[in-house]
Amino acid sequence: MDGLERPEGYGTQAEMMKDPRWNTVPPVGDRPISNRWKFLFLILVVFIVKLIIWSIYRWSTGNLAIFTDPENGRTLVYWSSLFAKPILQLGPVFFLWWYLFREKGSPFRFTRKNLTSSIIWGCLGGLVFFIVATVIYVGHMRVMGYGTDFHMTAGWEELGWGLIIAMMFSYMISTGPAEEIFSRGFLQDQSARVFSIPMAIGFSSALFAVGHLPISIMMYRMPLIDIFWYMLILIVMGAFFSIIYHWSRNIVLGIIIHGLWDWYLSLFGIKGAFTTVFIDNASTNFGRIDFINTVLTAAVMLPFFYLLYRVFWKRYTDGDDGRVRLFDDIRDSLWNRPWVKWIRTRDRGTWPRRPWITTFTAVGLFCIAMLPLAAVVGTDDPDYKIDRYQDPMDGQDVFDVYDIHDFGNLNEGGMVTYELDDMEHSMFSVNVTVEWADEPAERPGYRNAPDIFEVTVSDDEGVLKTMGGSGGSIDLDLNMGKDALYNGTITVTLVLTDAGDQSARIGPGIFTIEDTSNDYAIDIEFTTWHYIEGTGESPTVRW
């Protein structure tokens, strides 16, 4: 068994079914494997083909204008990935499985065994995983003195419902299933046919990390040090998912936890204050901290899933091996509980009758329940949602923006004024946008003279800038700059100078229809600036 050539019938489902490590759910594959290194090479070929195809897609989402558009490009990326991930990542595997491996059927193992417990503990475990990771992250930063004053922010308030829904479907229907089915259901299972379980876990975890290089380079455009830490984190996460998959032998467990983890990172945010020393080398420090936190989180969560393995997924016999007596005692105390027996009974495949519909329905309802949770735990303080880097040791520029949005109707010669009285901070800039629409001619053969509006920005001493227009909009930008050191009241005045009468195209002037007013919409953005002197100390900064 140590040579290249394998005995006849090696690696088939019939043979693997006898191996207790698979718990009656072995990897797929009916053709015997005669040479394990050749077989491993075929697995790598599948991975490389998938990586090339996925790199092309990630280049497209990171460079094409339709995906980089700031208005709706991000949402489109998530909706497109809903179909792209399963098709581009899993489609080639089917083709190569049939024509390269010369196998039949599906290259992935789908089973109803342990399905009920996988759905239940996948949802609850995903939530617990995120909570544990958050507590470890905040606690680690505080214990090490890297930062303080951490708060949970509800990301959906800024992202909007459209993007949130796109993320939920993308992560739960495409990202989680596609990555878990490929990395664990194919790479891990197939390599485990010819190598030990630990070797298969390490192999699939390393390729899982490499498979994220396209998004790291082509979309996120990470610096090299960030990519280094990101790869280490993904190896640890890949090993975690591989271990719990081996214990449960149902890919649904990893799919749910993986999808929920990605979605929680978008739905919730943890923000706080960090020392300037920490921020000065942000890429290295954040990468190192995230790696340590990932290792700690996995170490805390693995005993939880090992207990589930002993209670639900490992075949129980009296006088078990007793290698971990504590877990055996807990299992014995839970074994005959009604709710445990209910789950184990349905884990044998008697329910649900439509496993995938049941899975998506249960997980979908669980995800929807998380939306109000984000609103409850998320702070509404805008200061905690702003990412900014300021170093009070060297002094800092602080900019505050005040928006005014209004609409109404002005009579000809009428005016409306808007003021910002800011006696503390210097006015930095004023941006005014006015929009209106000329009414259509009321009679055939008449023409409508354009309506004319005028915007004036003034201070306590006089007019700073004036702009008029008759084309339906005015865009006035006034940048005073930090050198102006202006303090006082800024006034924006809007005047309808001409409402634009209607007159006959042919005929004397007596054939005129007087227009006396017009509707308008105005947006004003005041930006103020002030400078904070350096303290000479090493404070914390909001991030």
Under DSSP, is residue 239 helix (H, G, I), strand (E, B) or coil?
helix
The span from the CA of 232 to the CA of 302, in Å, is: 18
Cβ atoms 254, 244 nearer than 8 A: yes
Q: What is the mean pLDDT of residues 250-265?
A: 93
The span from the CA of 524 to the CA of 6, in Å, is: 76
Of residues 376 and 117, which shows the higher confidence score? 117
The span from the CA of 306 to the CA of 322, in Å, is: 14
pLDDT at 172 over 80: yes
Q: What is the mean pLDDT of residues 317-323?
A: 58
pLDDT at 239 over 70: yes
The span from the CA of 115 to the CA of 362, in Å, is: 12
Taken in order of first residue, the domains within the chain and their CATH numbers are 13-385 (no CATH), 397-531 (2.60.120.380)
Beta bridge partners of 77: none
pLDDT at 393 over 50: no
What's the token pair of residue 78? 């998530």
pLDDT tens digits, 77-105? 889 999 999 999 999 999 999 999 999 99
The span from the CA of 39 to the CA of 20, in Å, is: 23
Angstrom CA distances, 476 to 411, 504, 518, stand at 22, 34, 20
The span from the CA of 273 to the CA of 386, in Å, is: 11
Instruction: Provide Rg for the chain, Cα atoms.
Output: 32
Q: What is the mean pLDDT of residues 307-329?
A: 76
Please report the DSSP string for 304-348 in residue order: HHHHHIIIIISPP-SS---SSHHHHHHHHHHTT-HHHHHHHHIII
Of residues 430 and 203, which shows the higher confidence score? 203
Residue 278: per-residue pLDDT: 78
pLDDT tens digits, 453-506? 999 998 877 888 899 888 788 999 888 776 665 556 788 999 988 887 776 555
Report CA dihedral (371, 372, 374, 376) to the nearest 10 degrees: 180
Q: What is the mean pLDDT of residues 437-448?
A: 71
Estimate the crossing angle of helix 91-99 against helix 36-63, to 10 degrees: 150
Out of 39-43, 248-252, 539-543, least confident range: 539-543
Note the Cα 252 to chain centre separation in Å: 21
Q: What is the mean pLDDT of residues 5-27?
A: 79
